Amino acid sequence: MIDIKFLRENPEKVKENIKKKFQDHKLPLVDEVLELDKKNRELTVHGDELRMNRNNLSSKIGSLMKQGNKEEAEKIKLEVNKINEELVENEKLEEEYAEKIKEIMMKIPNIIDDSVPIGKDDSQNVEVQKFGEPIVPNYEIPYHTDIIEKLSGIDLDSARRVAGNGFYYLMGNIARLHSAVLTYARDFMINKGFTYVIPPYMIRSDVVTGVMSFEEMDAMMYKIEGEDLYLIGTSEHSMIGKFKGQLLQKSDLPYTMTSYSPCFRKEKGAHGIEERGIYRIHQFEKQEMIVVCEPEDSYDWYNKMWSYTVELFRSLDITVRTLECCSGDLADLKAKSVDVEAWSPRQKKYFEVGSCSNLTDAQSRRLGIRIKGEKGNYFAHTLNNTVIAPPRMLIALIENNYNEDGSITIPEVLRPYMGGLEVIK
The pLDDT value recorded for residue 274 is 47
pLDDT at 155 over 70: yes
**pLDDT (mean) for 209-233:** 90
Q: Is 186 left (phi over 0), alpha (psi -120 to 50) or beta?
A: alpha
Q: Place 166 in a pLDDT band, splitting at 50, 70 and 90.
A: confident
pLDDT at 309 over 50: yes
CA distances from 294 to 37, 258, 291, 366 (A): 29, 18, 10, 17
pLDDT, tens digit, for every residue of 136-153? 999 999 999 999 999 999
pLDDT at 57 over 80: yes
Between CA 106 and CA 187 the distance in angstroms is: 37
pLDDT at 269 over 70: no
- Please tell me the total number of residues recorded for the chain in this structure: 425
The pLDDT value recorded for residue 279 is 78
**pLDDT (mean) for 269-280:** 58
The pLDDT value recorded for residue 88 is 92
Please state which of the ranges 29-43, 50-64, 107-121, 379-393 shows the lowest mean pLDDT: 50-64
Q: Place 63 in a pLDDT band, splitting at 50, 70 and 90.
A: confident
Please state which of the ranges 64-78, 248-262, 367-381 shows the lowest mean pLDDT: 64-78
What is the DSSP secondary structure assignment for residue 112, as one 8-state letter? Answer: P
DSSP H helices in 191-315: 205-211, 214-220, 235-241, 298-315
pLDDT at 68 over 80: no
Q: Place 276 in a pLDDT band, splitting at 50, 70 and 90.
A: low
Q: Place 74 in a pLDDT band, splitting at 50, 70 and 90.
A: confident
What is the architecture of the domain spanning 4-105?
A: Orthogonal Bundle (1.10)
Q: What is the pTM of this model?
A: 0.89
Please state which of the ranges 76-85, 144-153, 272-281 shows the lowest mean pLDDT: 272-281
Q: Is 216 left (phi over 0), alpha (psi -120 to 50) or beta?
A: alpha
The pLDDT value recorded for residue 1 is 84
CA distances from 170 to 179, 227, 280, 390 (A): 10, 31, 15, 12
The pLDDT value recorded for residue 41 is 93
Higher local confidence (pLDDT), 392 or 64: 392
The pLDDT value recorded for residue 270 is 43
The CATH fold of domain 122-424: BirA Bifunctional Protein; domain 2 (3.30.930)
**pLDDT (mean) for 222-227:** 94
> Percentage of the chain with pLDDT > 70?
97
Between CA 288 and CA 239 the distance in angstroms is: 10
The pLDDT value recorded for residue 214 is 79
The pLDDT value recorded for residue 75 is 83
The pLDDT value recorded for residue 273 is 45
Residue ranges per structural domain of the chain: 4-105, 122-424
What does the mean pLDDT of the chain come to? 93
Nearest in space to 366 (alpha carbons), one of 103, 12, 15, 121: 103
The pLDDT value recorded for residue 268 is 56
pLDDT, tens digit, for every residue of 370-386? 999 988 999 999 999 99
Q: Phi and psi (nearest 5°) for 117? A: -70, 145
**DSSP class per residue in 37-56:** HHHHHHHHHHHHHHHHHHHH
**pLDDT (mean) for 383-390:** 94
The pLDDT value recorded for residue 140 is 95
Strand ranges (DSSP E) for 71-212?
126-131, 154-155, 169-170, 195-197, 202-203
